[in-house]
Amino acid sequence: MNETNDFSTGKLFPMILKYSIPAAISLLITAIYNIVDRIFVGNFNGTSALAGLSICFPLSYMMMAFGLTCSAGGSSLFSLFAGKGEQKNMNRSFGNALLLVVVFEVFLSVFLLIFSNPILKIFGVTETAYEYALAYYRIVTLGCLFQGLTQVFCDYVRVSGRPVLGMCVTSIGAITNIILDAVFVAVLGWGVTGAAWATVIGQILSALFGAFLVLKGYTKAGIKKETFSFDWGLSKKIISCGFAFWIAQMAMGLISLVYNSQLGKYGGDTAISVYAVVASIMTFVIMPASGISQGIQPIVGNNFGAGNYKRVMAVLYQASALSVGITCIIWLIVMLFPEAILLTFGASEKMLEIGVTGLRTNFCITPILGFVMLVTTFFQSIAKPIPSIIITFLRQILFLIPFIYLFPMFWDINGIFAAQPVSDALALILSVVLVIREKRQLYQMADVSPENTLITE
């Protein structure tokens, strides 16, 4: 079946599952391998080593920020061009996204390596965790380019109608990292250095496999000389469409700095180590929602490009129900078994004292993120990045950061963990308002012909 026609006429819920499940599995595996680093280091190297890895959280967010800007922005335009049948623009979107990610990630690597010590101080490194943080930081920085390339290859394979292969691009690196973590950290005793090399080697393998798929024609992008001709106008559109993801990732890095600073002030390395667990589990909890968000991107983009506006809204409704439902299941596990989760990371009694309440407080309304994240991706997928940017900026920066400083004045360390759910609740209200407004506009634009009213398919 022609893929574009399938997007326009196929039954929506099976299609959402087809694209979302592989993306969610891929992201879950990625979340697991980020968590595995901390599990092995926490169990085999102690609290200070785990704190060293936690200090480096902003580094991974920075790496992903530039990669996601190019991959998400470029693949969104790719889907819109596909809906309009514009093959030349599809090719150019891929080529420019690839050029942008190479430039951004190489620049980032050089910058991070030159200013490693000042940046670690900004990250809030403690004296006891410095040695571990520096060792991990310097090695992981070498993987910036491969991380970015992996994201671009994965997204373009997925939106080309091959979601399972897109999943494989990231999964190969993740599985490699998990295996090498066991070998380097547990068997060879290389500690944080072993965890860092396991991460970089996994990223290299993912990038190589993604490049193989692209060169073998597993995307709808034509690989020609003109594909890689730089177009400043198109590149600006790519950056604009992906900018909400840049804000989200950079904000998470900034938030990590704020959290580390505040938690270090109120609870030292132990509290920072608790945040390492909270951040890892938060990543794991929201990955299904992220996967569904990624899964609907080509469906929304193709239908919007083809003018099927009511169908676009139907995708959001059905995907939201699925996302919130799945997130609820994982949320229940976190709320019911916080002790077991913390013990998996080698938690001490002191970590348990802070962590049990911290986990439950931080995750108390997490299921609503299933909708908020979908709304962010929804606007980006229809090339309307401003609402996505507004939601992300307010939720991750303007609301959250002041709360992290304000709340502990009243509720001590538990106030720090309460900042996230309050910020998420405010973001939910804003998201609902923006979606209602967009729905009215799309329904006014929609053709009332039978082809454009298949919202229940």
pLDDT by residue (tens digit) across 293-319?
878 888 888 888 777 888 888 899 999
- Give the CA angle between residues 198, 199, 201 to the nearest 5°: 65
Closest alpha carbon to 440 in 334, 309, 346:
309
Question: Is the model's pLDDT at 84 over the cut of 60?
Answer: yes
Is the Cβ–Cβ distance between 238 and 70 less than 8 Å?
A: yes
Confidence bin at 197 (pLDDT 50/70/90): very high
In the chain, where are the structural domains located? 3-452
Q: In angstroms, rounded to a whole number, what is the distance separating the alpha carbons of residues 254 and 405?
A: 13
Residues 6+ apart with CB under 8 A from 46: 346
How many beta carbons lie within 10 A of that of residue 438, not counting itself?
Answer: 20
The two tokens of residue 214 are 């692209």
Angstrom distances, CA of residue 181 to CA of 98, 303, 341: 30, 43, 19
How many beta carbons lie within 10 A of that of residue 324, not counting itself?
Answer: 18
Q: How large is the greatest C-alpha to C-alpha distance in the chain, in angstroms?
A: 68
Question: Is the model's pLDDT at 91 over the cut of 80?
Answer: yes
What does the mean pLDDT of the chain come to? 82
- pLDDT, tens digit (0-9, with 9 covering 90-100), for 414-438: 888 899 899 999 999 999 999 999 8
Closest alpha carbon to 270 in 323, 337, 342, 215:
342
Q: Which of 75-79, 275-279, 427-431 has the highest average model confidence (pLDDT)?
A: 427-431
- pLDDT, tens digit (0-9, with 9 covering 90-100), for 216-264: 888 877 777 777 888 888 888 888 877 877 877 777 767 777 887 787 7
Would the pTM of this model clear 0.75, i.e. be above it?
A: no
Is the Cβ–Cβ distance between 391 and 87 less than 8 Å?
A: no
More confident residue, 409 or 83: 409
Instruction: Output DSSP code: residue 399.
Output: I
Closest alpha carbon to 302 in 312, 314, 310:
312
More confident residue, 149 or 217: 149
Sign of the four-CA dihedral 186, 189, 190, 192: positive
The distance in angstroms from the start CA to the end CA of the chain is 17
Q: Supply the pLDDT for residue 212.
A: 92
Count of helix runs (H) and strand runs (E) in the chain: 18, 0
Q: In angstroms, rounded to a whole number, what is the distance separating the alpha carbons of residues 416 and 438?
A: 34
Q: What is the dihedral of CA 383, 385, 386, 391, to 10 degrees?
A: 130
- Give the CA angle between residues 433, 373, 214 to the nearest 5°: 135
Is the Cβ–Cβ distance between 51 and 132 less than 8 Å?
A: yes
Q: In angstroms, rounded to a whole number, what is the distance separating the alpha carbons of residues 393 and 384?
A: 15
- pLDDT, tens digit (0-9, with 9 covering 90-100), for 12-34: 888 888 888 887 777 777 666 66
Residue type, 63: M
Sign of the four-CA dihedral 452, 454, 455, 457: negative
- pLDDT, tens digit (0-9, with 9 covering 90-100), for 41-76: 777 776 677 777 777 777 777 888 888 888 888 888
**Mapping DSSP to helix (H, G, I), strand (E, B) and coil, where does residue 435 land?**
helix
How many beta carbons lie within 10 A of that of residue 445, not counting itself?
Answer: 11
Angstrom distances, CA of residue 392 to CA of 10, 169, 180, 213, 417: 32, 27, 35, 32, 19
